[in-house]
Amino acid sequence: MTSVRELFGTAPRRVLVQGITGGEGSYWTEQMLAYGSQVVAGCTPGKAGQVVAGTPVYDTVSHAVADHDIDVSVVFVPARFAKGAAIEAIEAGVPNVIVLAEFVPVHDTMQIIAAARACGTRVIGPNCPGVVFPGRDFVGIMPGWSERLFSPGRIGVVSRSGSLGALINLHLVQAGFGQSAFLGLGGDPIVGTTFRDALEMFEADPTTDAVVLLGEVGGPMEEQAASYLESMHKPVVSFIAGKNAPEGKKMGHAGALVSGGKGTAASKMQALSAAGALVADVPTEIVSLLQGLDL
Amino acid sequence: MFVEEADAKRLLAAGGIHTPVGTVAETVAEAVLASGGPVMVKAQVPAGKRGKAGGIVAADSAEEVEAAARRLLGSELGDHMVDRVLVEPRVEIAHELYVAVVVDATSAGPLLMVSAHGGVDIEDVHESSPESVAKMPIDISIGLTPSDAEGAVAILGNLLDGEQKRALVDVLLRLYERFRFLDAQLVEINPLAVTTDGSLVALDAKLIVDDNALLRQLDLPAQRAVGTALELEAAEQGFLFVELDGDVGVLANGAGLTMATMDAVTAHGGAPANFLEVGGMAYKRATPALALVLKNPKVKSLLVNLCGAYARTDVIAEGLIEGWKTLAPDLEVSFCIHGTGEERAQELVRTELGREPHESMDDAIREAIANAAKRVEATS
């Protein structure tokens, strides 16, 4: 497994923005560029020849990759076009694809992941906020530039949710910690990169001393991570959101659903704790658990 | 979306899967008209385990059908009112099988399941004899192949003869086609009956369609409204809202932060009144979101916990202030605001509402819980 610092290749990582001419795509392209991310090309069908924030726009991903080396594509297109856009990038040979859209049909996600497996592509998302490498670059819709939320440091943070990730990052920075990387995996029941993948990348990363894992109810991702955690050397501190989630009700995220008694916060906390993770009862406890570690 | 049995069967039949020819009745008279010979009278509600709850009745005469329909129609089954029953001819069963295709999070793809133990709760079979359930991950880019389906059928050993095995392979291929065509999260036939004359009939059908695909699934029945009056109103406005039993109204941005805020309220000895998130695209709609939270009469104090990333807290604060001024609720409100737009958001709350936002989320939560307790004390 590659180290998280080499996710998307060794710096400088060149970014393609799919949907760059849209309101969100152009706004976040400007923010990424201002922070230092190397956005080298954009893509919107029918808009070839335009320039957004100094970035050339292409009709198709294959046209963009003919002119530029691309390490990662970030897909800003709406849910109903996300599958087509993501698979276009995968088939054009882009090695990493981040899908931001919420409400992507799960059959589309399964097809995206199948195409990625066939081509050896890493997919992050859908329904995710992207990734931040404090002090270096970010890709997605987390405000990487915010010094309240992000500071270069040695804690790896991985979260299904962007908002809970923001809260914990705020607490970390307030307490004097910084992050080696923040990975937002997404709130859908099926996502391309899992907690287990993230833990493996942080374990392999020499700039990460400890990992904060922010899970939530629904799905088997936290339990899968627990089975890997037993063989990890780095400490993991965790919080699982949704102890109050009633059975059968979606808690905002399509994946946050307790069903048939499965996927409860209690079962996830128990699995992580049994595997050696420190599990916080309330989000604010994350910091004190980290402070108790001999880092 | 949970598709009720009668509609699920119609959609399976459209894919060439054999189902009993039944009649949907909304009145006792319609049910009696559909009687004739041995039948099953089955309450139609969007939930499983109807048999255990007494929602499935065998009837051998028009009188028995009438009695069953009279008892079921208008009754409550689980959380749902029974407004129609399915009257179906009974078939002579030799074996009951279980077949399903499900979206499997572990393999991140479709999973085909086949078991000889049909007609019972499949979860119990997974517990007692997991080896008796064939579970076959399917590569969605290839689809279910006949040889895969034959492989899954092998779990049944010699239960079926060669002809029946071929028929079952055909059912599995059709079931997978329905799974893909309908954007299903789950399509399950339990039981799939092997009748005494050797044919395969879907006696029950459970279909759950991915909510994210409803815009392109145009052949589905109208969705039954499920939830409290306030939850339905919220859904109509496009909010994700879950009503709970507590007295602290909660407004936060993002699903993860909202859940975590509710957890923290509970951990500090309080009880949240709702789940409602104003994150994602909803962050510009804080005014109607506030109105929904305040409509819940159980709310005795309000907690606003924001940590903006994508969502701008100053935009949320503007919306809340507008709503607060319009509704002028007689309620205490506690704020904690951080992240994108926090300086302006905090300033707006100070100047427009005269409230000092807490630096710590735990302090805001403790205050909101104390305010709710004070209010309860004052009114009792």
If you average pLDDT over residues A115-120, what whole number do you get?
Answer: 97
If you average pLDDT over residues B85-89, what whole number do you get?
Answer: 97
Same domain for B108 and B25: no
Residue A249 or residue B20, greater confidence? B20
Six token digits for residue B287: 């005014």
- Asked if B93 contacts B195 with a C-beta cutoff of 8 angstroms, the reply is yes
Lowest-confidence pick of A179-183, A291-295, B14-18, B123-127: B123-127
CA distance B319 to B28: 51
Say yes or no to pLDDT of B378 above 90.
no
The yes-or-no answer on residue B310 being catalytic is: no
Taking the Cβ of residue A158 and every Cβ of chain B, the question of whether any pair is shorter than 8 Å is answered with no
Residues of A with Cβ-Cβ distance to B310 under 8 angstroms: 129, 141-143, 162
Bridge partner list, B334: B303
Put simply, the answer to whether B141 touches A115 (Cβ < 8 Å) is: yes
- The reply to whether B338 falls in a domain is yes
pLDDT tens for each residue of B196-210: 888 999 999 999 999
pLDDT tens for each residue of A227-237: 999 999 999 99
SS3 B298: coil
Per-residue model confidence (pLDDT) at position A92: 98
Taking the Cβ of residue A170 and every Cβ of chain B, the question of whether any pair is shorter than 8 Å is answered with yes
Put simply, the answer to whether A244 touches B263 (Cβ < 8 Å) is: yes
Per-residue model confidence (pLDDT) at position A259: 67
Which of B52, B68, B89 lies at the terminal end of a domain, its last residue?
A: B89
Taking the Cβ of residue A25 and every Cβ of chain B, the question of whether any pair is shorter than 8 Å is answered with no
pLDDT over 70, % of chain A: 98
- The reply to whether B299 falls in a domain is yes
**Which DSSP symbol is given to A97?**
E
Per-residue model confidence (pLDDT) at position B131: 83
Put simply, the answer to whether A217 touches B259 (Cβ < 8 Å) is: yes
Say yes or no to pLDDT of B179 above 90.
yes
CA distance B203 to B205: 7
- The reply to whether B154 falls in a domain is yes
How confident is the prediction for chain B on average, in pLDDT?
93
Same domain for B51 and B109: no
Same domain for B272 and B359: yes
**Optimal mutation site among B307, B336, B359, interface A, most CBs of chain A within 10 A:** B307
CATH number for position B68: 3.30.1490.20
pLDDT tens for each residue of A29-45: 999 999 999 999 999 99
Say yes or no to pLDDT of A156 above 70.
yes
- The reply to whether B4 falls in a domain is no
Same domain for B136 and B70: no
Say yes or no to pLDDT of B324 above 90.
yes
Q: How confident is the model at residue A104 (pLDDT cuts 50, 70, 90)?
A: very high
Q: Which domain holds residue B43?
A: 21-89
Per-residue model confidence (pLDDT) at position B280: 72
Same domain for B206 and B148: yes
Same domain for B207 and B152: yes
Q: Which of residues 236-275 of A touch B (CB under 8 A)?
A: 239, 241-246, 249-254, 256, 260, 265
pLDDT tens for each residue of B16-70: 999 999 999 999 999 999 998 999 999 999 888 898 889 999 999 999 999 999 9
Q: What is the ipTM of this complex?
A: 0.93
> How many Å from the N-terminal Cα to the C-terminal Cα in chain A?
23
Q: How confident is the model at residue A188 (pLDDT cuts 50, 70, 90)?
A: very high
Which of B216, B247, B274 lies at the terminal end of a domain, its last residue?
A: B216
Same domain for B205 and B295: no
For B173, half-sphere exposure in the C-beta direction (CA atoms, 13 angstrom radius) is 15
Q: Which residue has the tokens 């005494």?
A: B196
Taking the Cβ of residue A159 and every Cβ of chain B, the question of whether any pair is shorter than 8 Å is answered with yes
Q: Which of residues 27-86 of A touch B (CB under 8 A)?
A: 79-80
Cis bond upstream, residue A220 (ω within 30)? no
Picking from B63, B79, B75, B152, the residue whose alpha carbon sits closest to that of residue B116 is B152
Q: Which of A219, A220, A251 faces B255 most closely, judged by CB atoms?
A: A251
Residues of B with Cβ-Cβ distance to A149 under 8 angstroms: 309, 339
Give percent helix, percent strand, percent coil of chain B, each to the nearest 5: 40, 25, 35
Say yes or no to pLDDT of A51 above 90.
yes
Say yes or no to pLDDT of A125 above 70.
yes
Say yes or no to pLDDT of A290 above 90.
yes
Picking from B356, B367, B366, B339, the residue whose alpha carbon sits closest to that of residue B254 is B339
Taking the Cβ of residue B210 and every Cβ of chain A, the question of whether any pair is shorter than 8 Å is answered with yes
State which residue of chain A sits closest to B283, comparing Cα positions: A163
Q: What's the predicted TM-score (pTM) here?
A: 0.94
Per-residue model confidence (pLDDT) at position B110: 97
CATH number for position B199: 3.30.470.20
Provide the angle, in degrees to the nearest 10, between the axes of the packed helices B286-295 and B229-236.
170
Q: Which of B211, B213, B309 faces A162 most closely, judged by CB atoms?
A: B309
Report the helix count and the strand count for chain A, using DSSP H and E: 9, 14
Q: How confident is the model at residue A260 (pLDDT cuts 50, 70, 90)?
A: low
CA distance A247 to B239: 19
The number of folded domains in chain B is 3
Taking the Cβ of residue B109 and every Cβ of chain A, the question of whether any pair is shorter than 8 Å is answered with yes
Put simply, the answer to whether A167 touches B361 (Cβ < 8 Å) is: yes
Say yes or no to pLDDT of A261 above 70.
no
Q: How confident is the model at residue B361 (pLDDT cuts 50, 70, 90)?
A: very high
Same domain for B263 and B167: no
CA distance B201 to A67: 58
Lowest-confidence pick of A252-256, B173-177, B291-295: A252-256
pLDDT tens for each residue of B115-155: 999 988 887 887 788 888 999 999 999 999 999 999 999 99
Full set of structural domains in chain A with CATH? 12-124 (3.40.50.720), 146-291 (3.40.50.261)
Same domain for B210 and B153: yes
Which of B216, B239, B258 lies at the terminal end of a domain, its last residue?
A: B216
Picking from B57, B80, B58, B66, the residue whose alpha carbon sits closest to that of residue B4 is B80
- The reply to whether B66 falls in a domain is yes
CB atoms within 10 A of CB A50: 14
**Which DSSP symbol is given to A12?**
S
- The reply to whether B13 falls in a domain is no
CB atoms within 10 A of CB A230: 10
- The reply to whether B2 falls in a domain is no
- The reply to whether B6 falls in a domain is no
pLDDT tens for each residue of B56-79: 999 999 999 999 999 999 999 988
Same domain for B73 and B142: no
Cis bond upstream, residue A12 (ω within 30)? yes
Rounded to 5°, the CA angle B254-A71-A95 comes to 85
Residue B265 CA to chain centroid, in angstroms? 26
Q: Which residue has the tokens 């005795």?
A: B300
Q: How confident is the model at residue A119 (pLDDT cuts 50, 70, 90)?
A: very high
Per-residue model confidence (pLDDT) at position B123: 79
CATH number for position B246: 3.40.50.261
CA distance B54 to B32: 19
Taking the Cβ of residue A139 and every Cβ of chain B, the question of whether any pair is shorter than 8 Å is answered with no
Residues of B with Cβ-Cβ distance to A220 under 8 angstroms: 105-106
pLDDT tens for each residue of B218-252: 889 887 777 888 999 998 898 888 999 999 999 99
Q: Which of residues 331-350 of B touch A (CB under 8 A)?
A: 338-340, 342
Report the helix count and the strand count for chain B, using DSSP H and E: 12, 18
Q: Which residues of B93-113 are buried (b: 16+ CB within 10 A; e: fewer)?
A: eebbbbbbbbbbbebbbbbbb
Same domain for B158 and B272: no
